[in-house]
Amino acid sequence: MLKQKTQYRAMLPIAFLLQFSILIQAQDPYFSQFFANRVYLNPAYAGFDPGTTLTLNYRDQWFGVPDGDASTFPDSYQTFNVTAGFQLPCLLSLEDINLGMAVSVFRDAAGGAPMRTLGAAFAVSHEQPLVRTGIKDKGKLKRLDLRVGAQFGFMQKQLRGDYFIYSDFLDPVGGLITAPARLNLSSGLYPSLNAGVMLRGRLSASKYKETLFTAGLSFSNVNQPVEELMDGAGGFRIPARMTFHAGTTHRISSFKGVQAPTYIAPQFRWDTQADFNLNLQTIGAYIFSKAYYTGLFVQVPFGSSEGDAATFSPVLNRNTATLILNAGIDMATVTDWSRPWRKRRSGVTLGFTYDINLTGLTSATTLGVIEVNLRANLNNERKRKPCAALGKFELYDGKCPVRF
């Protein structure tokens, strides 16, 4: 009987830890440079760039959170994502078959080792031209494209470490009387299904007044997969997440002596999860030209403390509003000294983002969030077939380090 009670008390911390992990994983990882990790934003972006594109993203969140022991939880919340995208225009010489594909691998770690999420996914997209008019044709709408995409993958959750302390290990006088325990828990592979749709268009009032607009809607965890770290623990159904993103790109008229046009691109993103109880809004704008971009965004989460969301109330009552600063350069352009600026190569972009937490968990206690992005477009200068909508009808002809 005593042994059974001891085992029961030892299981309490595990149950609490698993319950805490359930609350945390209800919110999917978020990338501040969401347009630098577009397939994660919306599967309809698979194969968006001409040729083959390799994208690496790294996010280190709240790396300054203090820790009582440097040997325990030495790492922060770190997320890695690698995506290879392929554009397949005019498949089988059919003008209306413009396909894109993307393969992604994903790793998210909380505390370096204790809680990790691993995954791999495959995405496919199709672009359908809806409107195509010539420059001399009347009407402002010069192009309109519909893109649809789907992504299917497998994920796994792991909980591992050798520094877990249970109540039986503590003595009111002597403190820790037993060495910390080791846990090695792992869920089975569970499927994850994402889908997205997007409209892209170009308005042209004149040669110098043009606007590119984008509006998309994506759905993550459509199948609401169940992950279970312990047999018989009941598992947890991951709630679906919906993301709406929209933006416009405007060309700023160039002045004499300017090597390349400058563009401004206001953007908006809204994420919602857990039956609209967890919401995140991001709004801001990019300014960019050939070889560089910079941006300023504000991110504000909000939610309800009623119903199922009451579980999240300790977090929701202390929302962390964030100021996002980002910048990037096209290293291929900057280092191509042998050519004039207009004719320099492009396609290897390095981006950096720093999030300043203003309220809730402020940067004074967390040191904020950093993100690094590297994107290489391996063969974007190859001649494209006339039916390849991407590139031929682009406002900035694919020569800028960011595209929407």
Q: Tell which wins on pLDDT, 171 or 24.
A: 171
pLDDT at 27 over 70: no
Taking only the tens place, the pLDDT of each residue in 167-205 is 777 878 877 778 777 778 888 889 999 999 999 998 887
User: Please, what is the average pLDDT of the chain?
Assistant: 78
pLDDT at 306 over 50: no
Give the pLDDT of residue 234.
64
pLDDT at 314 over 70: no
CA-CA distance, 64 to 46, in Å (whole number)?
A: 34
Give the pLDDT of residue 399.
67
CA-CA distance, 121 to 123, in Å (whole number)?
A: 7
pLDDT at 40 over 90: yes
- What is the residue type of 285? A
CA 133, chain centre distance (Å): 34
> Domains in the chain, ordered, with CATH?
2-392 (2.40.160.40)
| 186 bridge partner residues | 158
Average pLDDT of 263-268? Answer: 94
Taking only the tens place, the pLDDT of each residue in 63-109 is 776 654 444 445 668 899 999 999 887 666 666 678 899 999 999 88
DSSP conformation class of 7: H
| 132 bridge partner residues | 143
Q: Is the pTM of this model over 0.85?
A: no
pLDDT at 386 over 80: no
Average pLDDT of 298-322? Answer: 59
Burial 115-133 (b: 16+ CB within 10 A, else e): bbbbbbbebbbbbeeeeee
Whether 39 and 104 have beta carbons less than 8 Å apart is answered as yes
Taking only the tens place, the pLDDT of each residue in 96-132 is 678 899 999 999 887 655 788 899 999 999 988 888 7
Give the pLDDT of residue 26.
44
CA-CA distance, 83 to 57, in Å (whole number)?
A: 9
pLDDT at 274 over 90: no
pLDDT at 353 over 80: yes
Rounded (to 5) percent helix, strand, coil in the chain: 15, 50, 35
Query: What is the share, in percent, of the chain residues with pLDDT greater than 90?
Result: 32
CA-CA distance, 264 to 150, in Å (whole number)?
A: 30
- What is the residue type of 126? H
Give the pLDDT of residue 129.
85
